[in-house]
Amino acid sequence: METILSVLRIEILIPWLLSMVLGIFVGAMPGLTATMAVALIVPLTFHTPPIVGLAMILGVSFTSIFAGDIPATFLRVPGTPASGAAVLDGYEMNKQGKGPLAIALDLICSTLGGLIGVLILITVSPVLASFALKFTHFEYFWLALLGLSMSAVITKGSTMKGLISMVGGLILSTIGLDISTGYPRFSFGSTYLMGGINFIPVMIGLFGISEVLRSISVTSLEDMGNAAVTTNVKADFRSVGTVMARNKRLILQSSLIGTLIGALPGAGADIAAWVSYGMAKKTSKKPETFGSGSEEGVIAPTTANNAALGGTWIPALVFGIPGDSITAIVLGAMMMYGLKPGPLVFQGDRVLVNQIFTVAVISQFFLLILGYLGIRAFTWFFKFPRNIVLAGITIFSLIGAYAMRSSVFDIGIVLVFGILGYLMERVTIPLPPFILGLILGPMIEENLRIGLVKTSGNFWPFFTRPISAFFAATLILIFLYEPIKLLIRKKLARRTNL
Amino acid sequence: MPGKSLRLNQEHIIGFICIAISLVILSITPTFPKGKAAIGLTGPAFFPNLLALIYIVCGIYQLWYGTIKATEFSSLTFTAFKNLFNKKETQTAYLVIIMMVGFILLFDFLGFILTTYLFLFLFMRRLGVSVLHSLFYSFILTGTIYFLFGWLFTISLPSGILSYVGL
């Protein structure tokens, strides 16, 4: 109780809440990521006491990850990379007039996922962090492949087209300086290409600009003057309870997956959302509804990405290893405050650690209120005619991409991938596997090649280390799950007929 | 064979593109430095080559699939190609792409304010917004973005030719 009261002081509360409002704004804006929101807030925290700064950082990260789901649901433009998976079913639900339910599910499940993630952070953080520390390149290679295998699961229609899209993303990830030798690959002398292709402008192009082009090419000029979103743009909490009661196992599963993946250094909220989505589809009784407006398809990624935030703090706090880019900034900020993240923090700064945990829990309740107000604010925006909204989305996408590195080249990337995404959709090549390939490509290549150096070119250790073997077996099981399920069903049907 | 057409369809095109990309990769990677196989050090070409080989397999599959399932896909005839450019809505989409190219080319020269305002005005006009509304909403959107990115997030936006008049 003393700790709770110590963080609910006005000098902490005001900057904390203001940061959370900023998080909603930044998160809902395509091109501006949760990492960017945290990076923007950190300079403001240098002159504040550590707990004020950490409350601001925690608050802004939780709201920005949730807010990314708002444009993902209503406009098919993910506000942050972590909302990439939320586009698939959230937008489909919106097209069916169930957008208010989808966004209400997003808000409640984000809160629940965040809460479970934080509770796990508080209770089992030392155990999970020590488990993640045992990982070497061999395990990370399998982990990345496991993430990539989800693209096969999430692909609708032709699996081959899903594979083509995924390999396309992997190929794109090879552009730039080689990780081992520093040799510039496929850069053709361009300094921009030497730095590699950033996945944020690619994602804005594939999902944002391609949707603008598609929308323009299928809407007549007469219809352009109508409201951008004809469905009811508000949160509908009436049937949320029933839907959540139906999916309580999924919420728990996604929270656990999210926290676990968040705790693995390098794998953040975006990977957590995709893996959770894939697992939800695998374990669902109605996997065929995924991608067509499935409630489970909304619940799984949105729960996991907020749960992952709690997970990312586990290695950061306990061992001083960042779980993702956000906690990397946090670690830098903590050092600026004169704190040394690691096991000693739990002894020397026990009061501060308890305050951090308390702030993380209370932030979830603030998220409920501020998230609801955020949705209301965006309701007003969506009442504009489609042609004006399309103009707004286009310019925000273009400037959002520019804002990342103040580079016109990134605007070009948005345009190129906007056109590519438009063409890919016309020939029914799915877009999400492309993004997944681009994100996970460097992780796969780096760990595969470094692993091979460690073993002098021998592939065998990739299969013989206990955790590697477990991941490899899981991967094989994922691919064999469907055929085995079919086989068992056939056998059961045959027995019943007998 | 009655009912079957061996004419080019979209699956064939996808297959050809996959193979073409693979060939481009395989023609560039021999110029990359070699690895040291004895110590397991793979060169920069290792991963792209692996992906190119997978893409060739994908491409061949698409060519085969496009041929055996030819009746399920419409052939790419000249009329179908011409129709892609004839529809008014599609023409608008192409025009928007050209506007975006113009935006990129003029962004540094004209600066953020002028380029954004001009782009938004032309974009809205093309999508059927009245002149007055286009002028008004372009102003509001440009101002909002300038406030958020330039002022609140202190992101440096190019001033372009306006820098000569002190803006």
Give A423-482 pLDDT, tens digit per residue.
Answer: 998 888 888 788 878 877 888 898 888 888 888 888 888 888 888 888 888 878 776 766
| A220-243 burial: b if 16+ Cβ within 10 Å, else e | eeeebeeebbebebbbeeeebeeb
Q: What is the pLDDT of residue B3?
A: 46
Question: The whole model's pTM is what?
Answer: 0.73
Say whether pLDDT at A229 is over 80. Answer: no
Tell me the CA distances in angstroms from B159 to A3, B150, B153, B156, one per residue in order.
Answer: 49, 11, 16, 9
Q: What is the pLDDT at residue A312?
A: 84
Q: What is the pLDDT of residue B47?
A: 92
- Rounded Cα–Cα distance for residues B27 and B24 (Å): 5
Instruction: Provide the pLDDT for residue A254.
Output: 93
Q: Does B48 contact A220 at a Cβ distance shorter than 8 Å?
A: no
B136 pLDDT tier (thresholds 50, 70, 90):
very high
pLDDT band at B2 (very low <50, low <70, confident <90, very high): very low
CB nearest B40 (choices: A161, A411, A452) = A452
Quick: pLDDT tens for A363-413: 999 999 998 888 888 767 666 787 888 898 889 888 888 877 788 999 999
Position A299 scores a pLDDT of 93
Q: From the CA of B121, how many Å to the nearest CA of chain A?
A: 9
Contact check, Cβ <8 Å, A394/B100 = yes
- Least trusted range by pLDDT, from A124-133, A386-395, B20-29, B110-119: A124-133
- pLDDT band of residue A180 (cuts 50, 70, 90) is confident
Position A413 scores a pLDDT of 94
Helix or strand holding residue A177 (H, E): strand A176-177
CB contact under 8 A, B107 and A411: yes
Q: Which residue has the tokens 């023609």?
A: B27
Identify the pLDDT of residue B85: 62
For B37, the closest of A213, A422, A457 (CB atoms) is A457
In angstroms, the CA B49 to CA A492 distance is 45
CB contact under 8 A, B89 and A218: yes
For testing contact with chain A, the best of B31, B51, B118, B122 (most A CBs within 10 A):
B51
What is the gyration radius of the CA atoms in chain B, in angstroms?
25
List the structure tokens of A261.
């993946």
**Non-local CB neighbours of B36 within 8 Å, separated by 6+ positions:** none
